[in-house]
Amino acid sequence: MSKIKTVIWPKVIFFGDSITQGSFQPNGWGADIANKLARKCDVLNRGLSGYNSRWGKILFPRLFSSTNSAEDNIAAVTVFFGANDCALQDKNPQQHVPLQEYSDNLKEITKLLASVGVSADRVILITPPPLNESAWEKECIVKGCPLNRHNSVAGQYAQACVQAASQCGVDVLDLWTLMQKDGQDYTVYLSDGLHLSQEGNQFVAQHLWELLERRVADLPFLLPYWGDVDTKSPESSLLCDL
């Protein structure tokens, strides 16, 4: 019998902070997209709660292989940092990253992705969402600290993300702008002022899919449809080259 060929599943990787880590919860944006891509690719969650772009850049070599082998067939990567970077330096110095460094980190992460074979056309940067200060202040008070983020500052980091994406030639999903477009009530998209509500997850899933779909549109449905399996000789259907 000839050697059985392993099925190589392409990958879509979500890299970011808690908004990414929590995206696989029920009704999460990551879970929604993973469901759309079932039997086409593996969707991997590399969200790290509380992390910023500085730590993400440092950690990159531990998360992404430097060997550009068939097993590392990456169809797309999202980079979603900023919600922690934009924490106020005097109120939350541990998570705060200066604006220019944040921009530089995003550019460096894009370069690092290119170094492991993920070209710019497969990278999507995502800006931090807007911040509902009154709701987040209540969360801060419960934790015994003052309000440590401002929506206007989150907007500065969002703009830096958009500019970094333009300079790197990658797509960007500008949540901060889209969620506040035409004066809409963006607070419905946030559960605690910072993280996404169910409506927010639906919003991200919808708009991210618009950018992601063309990158995965040509991925085939892996392995035969059950009705096409030869019942008399299933091996001939299930072990054949794809």
The pLDDT of residue 2? 65
Q: Which of 115, 121, 152, 192 is catalytic?
A: 192
Q: What is the mean pLDDT of residues 173-201?
A: 97
Residue identified by tokens 């070599």 is 61
The confidence band for 67, taking pLDDT boundaries of 50, 70 and 90, is low
Averaged pLDDT of the chain: 94
Q: Does 195 qualify as catalytic in the annotation?
A: yes
The pLDDT of residue 38? 95
Name which of 27-41, 66-80, 191-205 the model is least confident about: 66-80
Q: What is the pTM of this model?
A: 0.94
Task: Evaluate whether 219 touches 41 at the Cβ level (below 8 Å).
Answer: yes
Q: Does 192 qualify as catalytic in the annotation?
A: yes
Would you tell me how many other CB atoms lie within 10 Å of the CB of residue 9? 16
Q: What is the 3-state secondary structure (H, E, C) of 185-213?
A: CHHHHECCCCCECHHHHHHHHHHHHHHHH
The pLDDT of residue 151? 97
The confidence band for 123, taking pLDDT boundaries of 50, 70 and 90, is very high
pLDDT top residue among 65 and 14: 14
The pLDDT of residue 240? 82
Q: Which of 18, 23, 53, 103 is catalytic?
A: 18
Would you tell me how many other CB atoms lie within 10 Å of the CB of residue 27? 13
Sheet holding 74-80, edge to edge: 42-47, 11-16, 74-80, 123-126, 171-173
Q: Is the pLDDT of residue 70 over 70?
A: no
Strand partners for 79: 15, 125
Q: Does 191 qualify as catalytic in the annotation?
A: no
Task: Evaluate whether 158 touches 174 at the Cβ level (below 8 Å).
Answer: yes
Burial class (CB in 10 A: 0-12, 13-18, 19+), 39: exposed
